Structure 1
Amino acid sequence: MSYQVISRKYRPQRFDEVIGQEHICSTLQNAIKSNRISHAYLFTGSRGIGKTSTARIMAKSLNCLNPQGIDPCNVCQNCVEITAGRSMDVLEIDGASNRGIDQIRDLRENVKYPPSNSKYRIFIIDEVHMLTKEAFNALLKTLEEPPSHVIFIFATTEPLKIPATIISRCQRYDFRRISSKAIVQHLRKIAQSENVDISDDILLLVAKKAEGGMRDAESLLDQLIAFSGDSVSPDDAKKILSLIDYEYYIDIGNKIFDNDTAALFRIAGNIIDDGINLTEFLTGFTEHFRNLLIAAATKSVDMLDLPDDVKKRYLTESEKWEAPDLLRLIKILTDALATLKTSLNQRMHLELTLLRMGGMPKTVTVEDILASIKNPPIPSPGYTVKETMSLFNTGSSEPNSRADISPPKNKEDERKNESDKSPVINEVENKVTDQAVQKDSQEEEKDKPALDIRRIKDKWSAIADLVGETNPSLSSFLSVGKPESIRGKVLTIVFRNGETFHLNSILAKASIVENCIEKILGQSLKIKCIEDKSDNMKNQNEDLLNSMTKKVMDIFGGEIIPT
């Protein structure tokens, strides 16, 4: 007898031999046991995970002459003919090559005839999504009300391409991808039956390469055995499977971490010169950073389907990476993979991808930005002392020397001058200026008439209008508040409970309000904003939203524009 490939030789012949689809096999077994057989089934899922094999097993179970409980005997005439694909009552049709309306018309004629020596006539249509729209329409009536002896079993990898009118007439079963662990266990049994010496680490590489498909894994194992004979080495496996060693990915990742531009150019050139498939490389590199992300985020490598020594390596490497940076690197790789097919120069595409990853700045969170705003960096002590001493250099002959300190003529000039100076100089100059002008300010204040709250209330609308000339939104916020009292040089403005956002907006632009008050009233006042807590209708969600909005405005320098 001629050689039979592993995927056909070890094809499941019973429900309990189907790997990774226990939920479906159990449902079908119960349906057969209770005689609740549907007239149409739809099996969906990716390639090589047992759709057609399950359909054959079900056909044998329904037509077996000597059933073993629920499973077929696999020795009677019907079972043997179905297994060999020559049964007159079980027809397997390829939907890709019989997709026209003429073939479906022939099928409609065939369903009228009863089975020859079986209980049911079963039609298994593989890749049913390949049928044309007209063919689906011709099948609708037959599928809805078929003869009692007819059962349809459809298999497809693209269920979204099947019309809803077809799906609604079928019982749908979604087949899952098979786990790497289950694939390794099954391949281990096959290797023992074939007397092949192969390690579990190599079988794990085969399982990951198969991406959840048992048929792909069996075909790869067959290829490895054909190349290496009875003993498969790791180097042979990587060569045949076109796999890149994990250490190679780790080395490139370290070059990216160090932003070694020259090394990244050399690596890109070596990949192109060695003929490595860029799609395979970028996919593997993305998985590499995913492994690092899992190790960095969970502080564990239990979720990784990797050999134990490689897991330990990833756990060590993940200590120097931050999860946000890994997420951004994965995003760069996925974008590069998506645009690879349209790239005119793949070498340049790879080079730019690696350089973009190496030059990526570290991730800065919003909390870090807020902290840097609240605590700005302080200049070095030498700089501070030098600038501070220059303030007291009264003997300077330069006309614009810092020793020439004179009080500003008004508050606006004072604020304008302060805005042009560094924070450290401002702090020192403000102290010296306050001492120099304190006496004159006290004398000026004695000559001004005392302010009362009634006068301020009368002028409040005028103050709001003046504020609106420069900042309309601030004027609307100010109109919401009411002047409550004045104590010394501090004016207290009261806002109702729930108007926290308006209050904070006024405090953020207090200098503008104080300048307008001084222009209207002729005297400078400091404002103090408080919220009336007597109102119990406070909306906590609104306060939280206002707080978040204020943070965004503080960071980006924005303002609210009323509509």
Structure 2
Amino acid sequence: MSNFLVTARKWRPQKFEEVVGQEHITTTLKNAIKNNRIAHAYLFAGPRGVGKTTTARILAKVLNCLNPLDGEPCNECEMCKSFHNSQSLDVIEIDGASNRRIEEIRSLRESVKYAPAKGKYKVYIIDEVHMLTPESFNALLKTLEEPPEHTLFIFATTDVHKVPLTIVSRCQRFDFRRIELNTIKDLLSKIAEAEGIQIDDTALSLIAKKADGALRDAESLFDQIISYSGKKVNSEEISQMLNLIDQDIYFRISDAILSKDYNAAFEVTRTIYDNGWNFIDFLNELNEHFRNIFTVVLRKSTDLVEAAELYKEKYLLYKDSFSESDLLRILTFINKTQYEIKSATDQRLKIEIALCQLIGLEKTATISDIIKQISSTPVNRNIDSSPIQNKTQKTSNVRPAYKEEVNVPEVKKFVAPSPKDEKELKGIISKWNEFVEQVKSEKLFFGSLLNKTNPIEFIDNRIVLEVEHPDDFDIINDHKNYLEQKTKEIFGKKIEFNISNAGNSAKSEELNTLAKAVIDKLGGKKI
């Protein structure tokens, strides 16, 4: 019988420095050992396959090591060798799932009273501690809070939320994180080199991505692939063995959106169907594909893209091809399709229609872009006013644009004030802000409106205001008595307010031009 040992066991770390991706935890534990600040209970929480049990074993080993060096076990002394051979009586590993009853915990509680056989500590490692029953946790509380000096507990769990807070509060908690894709690739590359296996970067990326942050899963996949491919591994064989969707399909869809190639929607759907790929998995990967394009468009780099170098170069080609708003629409549409396809009776048809809709999406234009285009286009302001005047004369019975009681003087041309008037006007303008603030403190809405007006002329104790909107005429007219009384307090005399509609014609012309541009660009209609 072969003595084959799986990669996850053969390459299991034996020191803290060999644990990858969890430096924030291993550094803390090493410093605690060096400074003799060892707690009586530890709780290791995190996803599967990231090093919780491995770190617990290294901690138990170094605590009983006869010659520890810089917080690391020597792996050469009698205690370390007995631990490696599973002969140590001072390190007890318990499976929380199969020893969850209160009887087992009672037995454990009795055994902690006895001193360690050879080592300095008796260490209890309870894996998947969240599987214990509530009664078992309650039976462990008192022992966990005040254990004997020679006893130490290490709990490991993938679901820390199921562990009672009374247990968590009695432990030093360490949260393990998912291992990054590049970290997994680097470690697998070292293992492959040591084992004499040829494997390319794309193949390593596929394995690391499939593992989803779990190093143990990546090493298991690595063993499985070696069994299939032998000493030489390529990405095509991995995709075929694991039935992974070809990454080039997603680039074909993004290219089809740019070129409006509707035929690609049916070809891609047929390829997915013929290969037996899952349509939901396809949409998940498509969502990630456009997410990667989005990050490239925003950052002009691939530093946030988890993919092989070959595909990172392809993503960089899209940095100027899509706009941010278009990508947001695409991502929103894909998320909506992901929800709808779960209840679709014909998923293939649903995917074909969805891809056709994606390809048919037109590029968006923002209002700012439209205004910028309008600003760059010269506008003919030489408008002949005679037809308008003739029309006004013929329809004299038409209701006026504004209320008749509003006095709107015609300011045909601004007349420069005399030196005396100019000096007086400057004095009024210097106090204008103080006047507006005073009005705002008493009448906030009206003061805010007044702040948007522009005093353009001063004639015989009268201020002519240019307003922003025609409806402001009525509001200012209704407050004339208040304004005249307020001016006496600020300016020392009553000042009459008149309103000018100067510049409204030019503004109307610009608005009409803008409306026409919006209709042409966005397909709207005038109402």
Q: TM-score w.r.t. structure 1 length?
A: 0.67
Per-residue CA distance 1:497-551 (angstroms, 9 max, x = gap): 564654579854539959x99xxxxxxxx95499xxxxxxxxxxxxxxxxxxxxx
Q: What CA deviation, in whole Å up to 9, does each residue of 1:224-273 have, x standing for no partner?
A: 21111111123212223433333221112222344544532442243123
* CA shift for structure 1 position 129: 2.3
Greater alpha carbon shift after TM alignment, 35-44 vs 155-164: 155-164
Q: Distance in 1 between matches of 2:292 and 2:392?
A: 66
Partner residue of 1:171?
172
User: What secondary structure, in the 3-state scheme, does the structure 2 residue paired with 1:99 have?
Assistant: coil
SS in 2 for 1:256: helix
Deviation by residue 1:312-345 (Cα, 9 ceiling, x = unmatched) = 2221133211122222322333444456555554
Q: Could you tell me how far apart the structure 2 residues matched to 1:337 and 1:201 are?
A: 27
2:520 matched to which residue of 1? none
**Alignment deviations for residues 339-394 of structure 1 (CA, whole Å, 9 cap, x no partner):** 6555554334434543443344544545458779x98x999x9xxxxxxxxxxxxx
Compared CA separation, residues 136 and 435, structure 1 to 2 (3 A) = same
Q: In the aligned structure 2, how far is the partner of 1:227 from the partner of 1:250?
A: 28
CA distance in structure 1 between the partners assigned to 2:126 and 2:336 by the alignment: 38
Deviations along 1:210-231, one digit per CA (max 9) or x if unpaired, are 2222212211221221111111
Residue deviations 1:111-137, cap 9 Å, x none? Answer: 223222222121112222233333323
Aligned match of 2:61: 60
> Is the CA contact (8 Å cut-off) linking 1:56 and 1:82 kept in structure 2?
no
The CA distance in 1 between the partners of 2:272 and 2:130, in whole Å, is 39
Which segment drifts farther, 315-324 or 26-35? 315-324
C-alpha change, 1:92 and 1:265, in structure 2 (3 Å) is: same
Does residue 432 of the first structure (1) align with residue 432 of the second (2)? Answer: no
CA displacement 1:56-104 (0-9 Å, x = unmatched): 0000001123434532232444333433445332222222333333333
The aligned counterpart of 1:325 is: 326
CA distance in 1, matches of 2:149, 2:358: 63
* Alpha-carbon distance, 1:31 to partner: 0.9
- Tell whether the 8 Å contact from 2:409 to 2:500 is kept in structure 1 after alignment: no
SS in structure 1 of the partner of residue 182 of structure 2? helix
Select the structure with the greater relative contact order (CA < 8 A; seq sep ≥ 6).
2
Conserved? CA contact 1:256–1:264, under 8 Å: no
Query: What residue in structure 2 maps to residue 74 of structure 1?
Result: 75
Equivalent residue for 1:410? none
Deviations for 1:276-308, whole angstroms, at most 9, x for unmatched residues? 123432232222112211221112234434444
Aligned-pair Cα RMSD in Å: 4.0
Match of 1:47 in 2: 48
2:423 aligned residue = none
Higher deviation after alignment, 287-296 or 235-244: 235-244
Contact preservation (8 Å) 1:202, 1:237: yes
Give the aligned residue type for 1:300.
Answer: S
Partner of 1:158: 159
After superposition, residues 430-509 of structure 1 pair within 5 angstroms as 431-435=386-390, 437=392, 487-488=409-410, 496-497=439-440, 499=446, 501-502=448-449, 508=469
Equivalent residue for 1:200? 201
Q: What is the distance in 1 between the residues matched to 2:206 and 2:110? A: 49
How far apart in 1 are the matches of 2:295 and 2:395? Answer: 67
The whole-number CA distance in structure 2 between the counterparts of 1:105 and 1:77 is 31
Contact 2:137–2:167 (CA under 8 A) maintained in structure 1: yes
The 2-side partners of 1:311 and 1:123 are apart by 46
Aligned residues: 436
Separation (CA, whole Å) in 1 of partners of 2:164 and 2:363: 49
In 2: Cα distance, 1:529 partner to 1:437 partner: 18
What is the alpha-carbon distance in structure 2 between the residues aligned to residue 132 and residue 500 of structure 1? 68
**In structure 2, distance between residues paired with 1:369 and 1:161:** 56
Q: d(CA) in 2 for partners of 1:338 and 1:75?
A: 57
Distance 1:99 1:370 in 2: 70
CA–CA distance in 2 between the matches of 1:203 and 1:288?
Answer: 19
User: Aligned ranges for residues 264-413 of structure 1 at < 5 Å?
Assistant: 264-337=265-338, 341=342, 343-365=344-366, 367=368
Q: 2 CA distance for matches of 1:90 and 1:529?
A: 91
The answer to whether the Cα contact below 8 Å between 1:507 and 1:529 also exists between their aligned partners in 2 is no
Counterpart Cα distance in 1 of 2:132 and 2:368: 56
Q: Cα distance 1:53–1:339, how it changes in 2: closer, same or farther (>3 A)? A: farther
Q: Kindly provide the amino acid, as one letter, of the partner of residue 186 in structure 1.
A: L
Is the 1:291–1:314 Cα contact (8 Å) retained in structure 2? yes
User: Alpha carbons of 1:243 and 1:502: their partners in 2 closer, same or farther (altered >3 Å)?
Assistant: same
Cα gap change, 1:431 to 1:81, in 2 (>3 Å): farther
Q: CA, structure 1 residues 106+528, in 2 after alignment: closer, same or farther (shift >3 Å)?
A: farther
Q: CA deviation at 1:35?
A: 1.4
User: 1:275 aligns to what SS in structure 2?
Assistant: coil
C-alpha distance 343-36 of structure 1, shift in aligned 2 (>3 A): farther
Select which of 510, 513, 524 maps to 2:471: 510
Q: Aligned equivalents of 1:30 and 1:143: distance in 2? A: 23
3-state SS of paired residue (2:174): strand
C-alpha distance in 1, partners of 2:501/2:392? 28
The 1:220–1:440 alpha-carbon spacing in structure 2 relative to 1, beyond 3 Å, is closer
Question: Alignment partner of 2:317: what SS?
Answer: helix
1:510–1:527 CA contact under 8 A, matched in 2 = no
Unaligned segments of structure 2, at least 5 residues: 398-402, 413-434, 454-466, 479-497, 503-527
CA contact (8 A) 1:20 1:179 kept: yes
Distance 2:90 2:309 in 1: 51
Partner of 1:144: 145
Aligned-partner SS, 2:72: coil
- Residues 65, 103 of structure 1: CA spacing in aligned structure 2 closer, same or farther, 3 A cutoff? same
Check the 8 A contact 2:249/2:268 in 1, yes or no: no
1:4 and 1:440 map into 2 onto residues whose CA distance is 99
Tell me which amino acid in the other structure corresponds to 1:103: E
CA deviation after TM superposition for structure 1 residue 54, in Å: 0.5
Q: Is the 8 A contact 2:90 2:119 kept in 1?
A: yes
- SS of 1:13's partner is coil
Comparing 147-156 with 90-99, greater Cα deviation is found at 90-99
Deviates more, 1:338-347 or 1:249-258: 338-347
Letter in 2 for 1:231: K
* SS of match in other structure, 2:233: coil
Structure 1, unaligned runs of 5 or more: 382-426, 445-459, 464-482, 518-525, 531-563
Residues 178/437 of structure 1: CA separation in 2 closer, same or farther (3 Å cut) = closer
Maintained 8 Å contact 1:72/1:79 = yes
Instruction: Answer whether contact 2:43 2:155 (CA < 8 A) is retained.
Output: yes
Name the % identity. Answer: 44
Classify 1:361/1:231 alpha carbon distance in 2 versus 1 (closer, same or farther; 3 Å). same
TM-score by length of 2: 0.71
Q: 1:431 to 1:123 in 2, by over 3 A?
A: farther
User: How far off is 1:143 after superposition?
Assistant: 1.6
Please tell me the residue identity of whatever aligns with 1:510: D
The reply on whether 1:254 has 2:255 as its aligned counterpart is yes
